[in-house]
Amino acid sequence: MMANLVANPTTAIQMNTIASKKISIIPVLISVLIYFNYYLINPINQPPVMKNLLKEYDFIVIGGGSAGSVVANRLTENSEWNVLLLEAGGHENEITDIPAFSIYLQNTKLNWQYKTQAQNTACQAMKDNRCCWPRGKVLGGSSVLNTMLYIRGNRRDFDQWESFGNPGWGYDDVLPYFKKSQDQRNPYLARNTKYHSTDITGDVKSTIQFYKKQVFAGGYLTVEDSSYKTSLAPVYLQAAKELGYNIRDINGEKQTGFAFFQYTMRRATRCSTAKAFIRPIQFRKNFHLSLWSHVTRVLIDPSTKKAYGVEFIRNGRVETVFAKKEVILSAGAINTPQLLMLSGIGARDHLEELGIPVIQDSPGVGQNLQDHIGFGGLVFLVDYNTSLKTSAFMNLKTILEYIINRKGPLTSSIGLELVGFLSSKNANQTDDWPDIEFMITSATINNAPDIAETAFCLTEDFYDEVYGDIINHNSFNIIPMILRPKSRGYIKLKSKNPLDYPLMYHNYLTNPDDMRVLREGVKAAIAFAETSSLRRLGARFHSKPYPNCKHHPMFTDEYWECVIRQFTMTIYHLSCTAKMGPRSDPMAVVDPSLKYDLQRKSLKIVEAFLRLVKKRKNLHIALNAQVWKVLFNTDKEATGMEFLSDGLKQTVRVRREIILSAGAINLPQLLICYLLNHLCSQA
């Protein structure tokens, strides 16, 4: 037998190939087994789907994403209200829980797989010049697809919102709601009770319990550090110190500086808003969930302009449910303006052009679209085996380490390790209001050729020419991102068919200030990699000229502008398509209490896309829903109170009256909370 194999090398090669394939398929089989046994191994089963819906609900929430999940949770705290949550996708699963797999989920049915219209200002290296815009089509929304980074934003961002005529949205107003939502598992950060809180009422046994008397009762959303870091991670911190930056809690008092990322993870797995806010309420009798339910329009009485119901498609049939009190739109920055326009709310000319009856002329619907964008092509090579390669994910040892111990490379958020906030020369250097963010990752695109096409939509020719000769080379990536873009895109309907995707125009880099800031970010990233800390590892910029930029001298402003327009990278923070503002603003879609003015005020919009100016980051979505927490019924009658007792949140309901005797300072505060209606839940 051995002689035959040696005499026939072709046969030997074929058998070796077959054996290799059998070995490599083991992780795939394990993943399949995990998927189909999810309900057995997961200690908290998924919330049940209601097959037979009621004809009428008090509240109908459209979209079970990062905002809708929070809204459904808070509304159902009132046992007298029945709430229906409609979601176009299905359940998350054990595969979506694995942090390292987030980038691979973008080519699945969990993603709407939107693509923008072709524009020459950006995404030139993508197929057909179209940017890919991943959006979650699953319970939990984009919190099931994202990289789980927990970053609240800058104080000045919120204070600016308030200065634009939006009372109740300043930093001091929203901070309690961030804390109310958060369950911070890092004991060092949890000590700072001014900015963090911990869910000490839960059954989790951790070092956080040591600080029980020092922290306020937190909420459902778990935040923790990653249990896995590459050997490059501490070197990044050393490089930041070398440049004179502080290492700080970027969700604390100040933001400028560097830190390890904080993640929305729980026990080294993804903590989506579905896991955090929906699973704990799955047995509330007043909560109904309908998945795979594609909403086609909000039903609005044209004479009274009262939103009274929702039409949606489920199991191939058109169904209708009615709302006694309110319809709440939380369908995302793309689907919400689409639904508003399909329902007759939008720019009159556009709706009439498509033959949609106009309920209300609202020119701001779908306008003011903003996104955080960065440059994805800054790859730096190193001489040591320090990178996180995709080959580290796909082996039996790694998968078993994750399944058994919840440790190892699979607990990494695709190699994202360090975040930095810095000011370009276009910003005030002495002010703690940075305009650039660094996302530093030890997993680079040259080590993941399989996702270059699916996740980033890069053309094969572009990838091969720029990265083909450094595939699987140890490296790291710095992604500079602009924090306050001035360019504005828009969304419009393709047709009045609700199943047609809308037309999306990003308008990236159409404002020259955006290019100036991002260009300075690229230069700062190269300077970061040239620190002695990283040079000791042989760090050097991969300076392969981009295909369509070779006519520009390397490292000139013209060259950087060219490559930025080639590999323009969305950071997945689409927002602002239903602008929040005072009634004096003709482009505002909702007022500061998140209401759309339909006379009877029966339609509310709760989502990140309502913001008037782009801010930082995906946590704002849950925040907007959190601030919207109801303590009054729709007739503005007081129904109960929330308060802290021994660090624990308590809720009581009243039958008749609440009598305020809180003193000269606290009484006005409580009255203001009442007048703002829904904007305060801690008194």
For 443, which DSSP code? S
**Do the Cβ atoms of 179 and 195 come closer than 8 Å?**
yes
Cα distances from 56 to residues 288, 359, 633, in angstroms, run 11, 23, 18
Query: Is 138 assigned a ligand-binding role in the annotation?
Result: yes
User: Residue 599 domain-assigned?
Assistant: yes
**560-569 pLDDT, tens per residue?**
999 999 999 9
Q: Over pLDDT 90: what percentage of the chain?
A: 71
Q: How many domains does the chain have?
A: 1
Residue 290 has pLDDT above 90, yes or no: yes
Residue 86 has pLDDT above 90, yes or no: yes
pLDDT of residue 675: 37
User: Residue 339 domain-assigned?
Assistant: yes
Choice between 196 and 24, residue whose per-residue pLDDT is larger? 196
Q: Over pLDDT 70: what percentage of the chain?
A: 79
- Main-chain phi, psi angles of 317, to 5 degrees: -120, 150
**336-391 pLDDT, tens per residue?**
999 999 999 999 999 999 999 999 999 999 999 999 999 999 999 999 999 998 87
Q: How far apart are CA 376 and CA 481, in angstroms?
A: 9
**488-500 pLDDT, tens per residue?**
999 999 999 999 9
**183-202 pLDDT, tens per residue?**
999 999 999 999 999 975 55
State the alpha helices, DSSP H only, in 312-376: 332-342, 348-353
User: Residue 176 domain-assigned?
Assistant: yes
pLDDT of residue 622: 53
pLDDT of residue 429: 82
pLDDT of residue 396: 85
Helices and strands of the chain, counted as H and E runs: 21, 28
Q: How many CB atoms lie within 10 A of CB 51?
A: 8
**Do the Cβ atoms of 224 and 231 come closer than 8 Å?**
no
The catalytic residue among 542, 573, 620, 678 is: 573
User: Residue 71 domain-assigned?
Assistant: yes
Residue 295 has pLDDT above 50, yes or no: yes
Task: Bin 148: left if φ > 0, else alpha if -120 < ψ < 50, else beta.
Answer: left
pLDDT of residue 50: 96
Residue 171 has pLDDT above 90, yes or no: yes
Query: Is 358 assigned a ligand-binding role in the annotation?
Result: no
**pLDDT band with cut points at 50, 70 and 90 for residue 597:** low
**pLDDT band with cut points at 50, 70 and 90 for residue 595:** confident
Q: How many CB atoms lie within 10 A of CB 44?
A: 9
**137-157 pLDDT, tens per residue?**
999 999 999 999 999 999 999
What b/e string do you get for 541-558 counting C-beta neighbours within 10 Å, with b at 16 or more? bbeebbeebeebeeeeee
User: Does residue 88 sit in helix, strand or coil?
Assistant: coil
User: Residue 371 domain-assigned?
Assistant: no
Q: How far apart are CA 130 and CA 125, in angstroms?
A: 9
pLDDT (average), residues 395-409: 90
**pLDDT band with cut points at 50, 70 and 90 for residue 392:** confident
pLDDT (average), residues 507-530: 98
Residue 525 has pLDDT above 80, yes or no: yes
Q: Whose CA is closest to 566, among 486, 629, 509, 622? A: 509
What predicted TM-score, i.e. pTM, was given to this entire model?
A: 0.84
Structure tokens at 122: 């950006």
User: Residue 106 domain-assigned?
Assistant: no
Q: For all residues of the chain together, what is the average pLDDT?
A: 84
Kind and range of the H or E element at 526? helix 512-529
**406-437 pLDDT, tens per residue?**
999 999 999 999 999 999 998 988 889 999 99
**598-641 pLDDT, tens per residue?**
554 567 777 644 444 444 444 545 555 554 433 444 444 555 65
What is the largest distance, in Å, between two alpha-carbon atoms of the chain?
98
Residue 644 has pLDDT above 60, yes or no: no
Cα distances from 254 to residues 156, 190, 251, 259, in angstroms, run 11, 16, 8, 12
pLDDT (average), residues 393-409: 88
Task: Identify the CATH number of the domain in which residue 168 sits.
Answer: 3.50.50.60
Which residues are CB-contacts of 209 (< 8 A; sequence separation ≥ 6)? 200
Q: Is 294 a catalytic residue?
A: no
Q: How far apart are CA 248 and CA 252, in angstroms?
A: 8
What b/e string do you get for 330-346 counting C-beta neighbours within 10 Å, with b at 16 or more? bbbbbbbbbbbbbbbbb
pLDDT (average), residues 642-664: 49
Residue 655 has pLDDT above 90, yes or no: no
Lowest mean per-residue pLDDT among 103-112, 316-325, 463-472: 103-112
User: Residue 193 domain-assigned?
Assistant: yes
Residue 661 has pLDDT above 50, yes or no: no
**pLDDT band with cut points at 50, 70 and 90 for residue 65:** very high
User: Residue 524 domain-assigned?
Assistant: no
In DSSP terms, 649 is beta-bridged to 644
Q: How far apart are CA 486 and CA 425, in angstroms?
A: 17
**pLDDT band with cut points at 50, 70 and 90 for residue 12:** very low
Q: How far apart are CA 78 and CA 326, in angstroms?
A: 15
Give the structural domain span for 616. 52-92+138-206+215-225+261-332+334-365+579-634
pLDDT (average), residues 632-652: 50
| Strand pairing category for 317-329 and 56-62 | parallel
